[in-house]
């Protein structure tokens, strides 16, 4: 008999749909996903691709309020939905919503194993709030097991006193085939696509929210530090939107020579073209639990420059093989890394091929095997 796994997670994220679809094809897992909301319109501009969903799911009624930097999300029918779904195991995507605590209490009362999907790590540069850390620690030590995306998330749990045998790895993944295929199509029509999207012939690419903690101001400053000859040949493209966009645009206007483009928020249908036509992906973040844009870029065959604060760096980046690693907030190191790759097309080509090869190990199927092992199955069993 299949094991009924109920996954409790915040919103219908486009990059999670392929993972949940793959899990629904697993021979021994019967997944049901409970979303706390369709999306978060105040923070993200994603389309909700419900037509792609091939798994059992429901969306709980919700009320959301943003108070300063805190995101308050309240849900109805949490206990009732869990009871109706009759789980053998619950996997919760975090601790920071009231629904997470409600689910934990319900699981304990009904003797249901309760796992947490934990992506926190110690490399992030973020303000530590004692009360938040206390609550997180209390939550963690009430869980039956833990699912992490990679090595530094494992380190975080061990630092909190979690035993090794309670931690399982399900590597973060995107739909590699979708991005690789779309990138190949974009490259076939490169001249037309560059013209259509108003892209330079060569460019550094950033994908994500335009907010200070993503390191976007450091990226712009690093670009300004490059030799004039490099800036005449290689542009900088920001694919994303956010509260810092206007300030970035103002600063970009003072950089000359240079080719700086602000594409705004880019939906999935066109995103692969931005990756495909770029020289490299740069993520200079100083607080990121993973950075799935790196998976996407590597699936499209891009070298990467990553900050040490990116949660994916330990798993996705092999220094000097498929990219370079820099300290967060270090403009000089970032500029040097950008110049190194921009000046060596042969090195770029080698790193691009290595990125595409390496990311194949971070697939939806590999994620499913990790989940299967976490819930007590042997993994690697699919229809």
Q: What CATH number did the domain enclosing 294 receive?
A: 3.40.50.2000
Say which range, 121-135, 173-187, 192-206, has the weakest mean pLDDT. 121-135
pLDDT digits (tens, 9 = 90+) for 266-298: 988 899 999 999 999 999 999 899 999 999 999
Tell whether 383 is covered by a domain.
no
Q: Rounded to an integer, what distance in angstroms lies between the CA atom of residue 246 and that of residue 92?
A: 37
Question: Are 103 and 216 found together in one domain?
Answer: no
Tell whether 144 is covered by a domain.
yes
Tell whether 205 is covered by a domain.
yes
Tell whether 382 is covered by a domain.
no
Output the pLDDT for position 216: 98
Tell whether 106 is covered by a domain.
yes
pLDDT digits (tens, 9 = 90+) for 7-33: 999 999 998 999 999 999 999 999 999
Output the pLDDT for position 129: 73
Q: Rounded to an integer, what distance in angstroms lies between the CA atom of residue 284 and that of residue 280?
A: 13
How many other CB atoms sit within 10 Å of the CB of residue 63? 10
pLDDT digits (tens, 9 = 90+) for 133-146: 888 889 999 999 99
Of the pLDDT bands very low, low, confident and very high (cuts 50, 70, 90), residue 316 is very high
Output the pLDDT for position 238: 98
pLDDT more than 90, % of the chain: 84
At residue 382, does pLDDT exceed 60? no
Output the pLDDT for position 17: 95
Q: Rounded to an integer, what distance in angstroms lies between the CA atom of residue 239 and that of residue 210?
A: 9
What predicted TM-score, i.e. pTM, was given to this entire model?
Answer: 0.93
Output the pLDDT for position 381: 40
Q: Rounded to an integer, what distance in angstroms lies between the CA atom of residue 367 and that of residue 208?
A: 23
Specify the number of domains making up the chain: 2
Question: Are 138 and 197 found together in one domain?
Answer: no
pLDDT digits (tens, 9 = 90+) for 326-346: 999 999 999 999 999 999 999
Tell whether 344 is covered by a domain.
yes
Output the pLDDT for position 383: 40
Output the pLDDT for position 81: 98
pLDDT digits (tens, 9 = 90+) for 199-226: 999 999 999 999 999 999 999 999 999 9
User: Can you give the chain as a three-state secondary structure string?
Assistant: CCEEEEEEECCCCCCCHHHHHHHHCECCEEEEEEECCCCCCCCCCCCCCHHHCCCEEEECCEEEEEECCEEEEEECCHHHHHHHHCCCEEEECCCCCHHHHHHHHHHHHCCCCEEEECCCCCCCCCCCCHHHHHHHHHHHCCCCEEEECCHHHHHHHHHCCCCHHHEEECCCCCCHHHHHHHHHHHHHCHHHHHHHHCCCCCEEEEECCCCHHHCHHHHHHHHHHCCHHHHHHCEEEEEECCCCHHHHHHHHCCCCCCCEEEEECCCHHHHHHHHHCCCEEEECCCCECCCHHHHHHHHCCCCEEEECCECCHHHHCCECCCEEEECCCCHHHHHHHHHHHHCCHHHHHHHHHHHHHHHCCCCHHHHHHHHHHHCCCCCCCEC
Question: Are 55 and 132 found together in one domain?
Answer: yes
Question: Are 222 and 143 found together in one domain?
Answer: no
At residue 164, does pLDDT exceed 90? yes
Cis (ω within 30 of 0) for the bond into 114? no
Question: Are 153 and 263 found together in one domain?
Answer: no
Question: Are 183 and 163 found together in one domain?
Answer: no
> Roughly what angle, to the nearest 10 degrees, separates helices 216-225 and 331-342?
60
Range of the domain at 50: 3-173+363-374
Question: Are 95 and 78 found together in one domain?
Answer: yes
Mean pLDDT confidence for 366-371: 96
| Mean pLDDT over each residue of the chain, to the nearest integer | 93
Question: Are 227 and 332 found together in one domain?
Answer: yes
Question: Are 249 and 125 found together in one domain?
Answer: no
How many other CB atoms sit within 10 Å of the CB of residue 37? 18
How many other CB atoms sit within 10 Å of the CB of residue 221? 17
Output the pLDDT for position 128: 65
> What is the biggest distance separating any 2 CA atoms in the chain, rounded to whole angstroms?
66
Of the pLDDT bands very low, low, confident and very high (cuts 50, 70, 90), residue 380 is very low
Output the pLDDT for position 45: 67
Tell whether 219 is covered by a domain.
yes
Tell whether 212 is covered by a domain.
yes
Residues 6+ apart with CB under 8 A from 372: 26, 28, 29, 378, 379, 380, 381
Output the pLDDT for position 135: 86
Question: Are 132 and 275 found together in one domain?
Answer: no
Give Rg (Cα) of the chain.
Answer: 21
Question: Are 353 and 251 found together in one domain?
Answer: yes
Question: Are 69 and 209 found together in one domain?
Answer: no
Comparing 121 with 109, the larger pLDDT belongs to 109
pLDDT digits (tens, 9 = 90+) for 55-113: 999 999 999 887 776 778 999 999 999 999 999 999 999 888 999 999 999 999 999 99
């Amino acid at each position: 008999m299949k094991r009924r796994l109920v996954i409790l997670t915040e919103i219908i994220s486009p990059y999670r749909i392929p993972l949940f679809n793959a899990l629904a094809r697993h021979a021994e897992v019967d997944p049901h996903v409970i979303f706390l909301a369709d999306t978060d319109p105040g923070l993200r501009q994603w389309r909700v691709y419900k037509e792609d969903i091939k798994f059992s799911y429901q969306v709980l009624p919700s009320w959301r309020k943003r108070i300063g930097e805190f995101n308050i999300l309240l849900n109805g029918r949490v206990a009732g939905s869990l009871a109706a779904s009759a789980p053998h195991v619950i996997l919760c995507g975090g601790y920071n919503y009231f629904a997470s605590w409600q689910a934990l209490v319900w699981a304990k009362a009904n003797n249901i194993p309760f796992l947490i999907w934990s992506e926190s790590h110690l490399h992030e540069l973020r303000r530590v709030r004692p009360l938040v850390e206390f609550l997180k620690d209390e939550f963690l030590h009430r869980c039956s097991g833990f699912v992490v995306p990679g090595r530094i998330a494992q380190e975080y749990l061990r630092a909190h006193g979690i035993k090794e045998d309670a931690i399982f790895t399900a590597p973060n993944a995107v739909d590699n085939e979708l991005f690789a295929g779309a990138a190949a199509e974009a490259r076939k029509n490169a001249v037309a696509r560059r013209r259509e999207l108003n892209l330079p012939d060569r460019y550094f690419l950033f994908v994500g929210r335009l907010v200070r903690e993503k390191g976007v101001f450091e990226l712009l400053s690093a670009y300004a530090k490059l030799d004039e000859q490099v800036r005449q040949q290689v542009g900088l493209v920001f694919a994303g939107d956010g509260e810092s966009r206007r300030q970035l645009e103002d600063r970009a206007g003072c950089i000359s020579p240079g080719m700086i483009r602000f594409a705004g928020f880019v939906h999935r249908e066109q995103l692969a073209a931005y990756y495909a036509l770029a020289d490299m992906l740069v993520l200079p973040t100083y607080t990121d639990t993973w950075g799935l844009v790196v998976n996407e870029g590597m699936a499209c065959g891009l070298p990467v420059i990553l900050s040490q604060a990116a949660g994916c760096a330990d798993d996705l980046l092999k220094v000097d093989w498929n990219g370079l690693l820099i300290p967060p907030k270090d403009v000089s190191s970032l500029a040097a890394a950008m110049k190194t790759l921009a000046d060596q097309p042969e090195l770029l080509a080698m790193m691009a091929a290595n990125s595409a090869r390496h990311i194949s190990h971070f697939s939806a199927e590999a994620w499913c095997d990790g989940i299967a092992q976490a819930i007590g199955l042997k993994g690697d069993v699919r229809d």
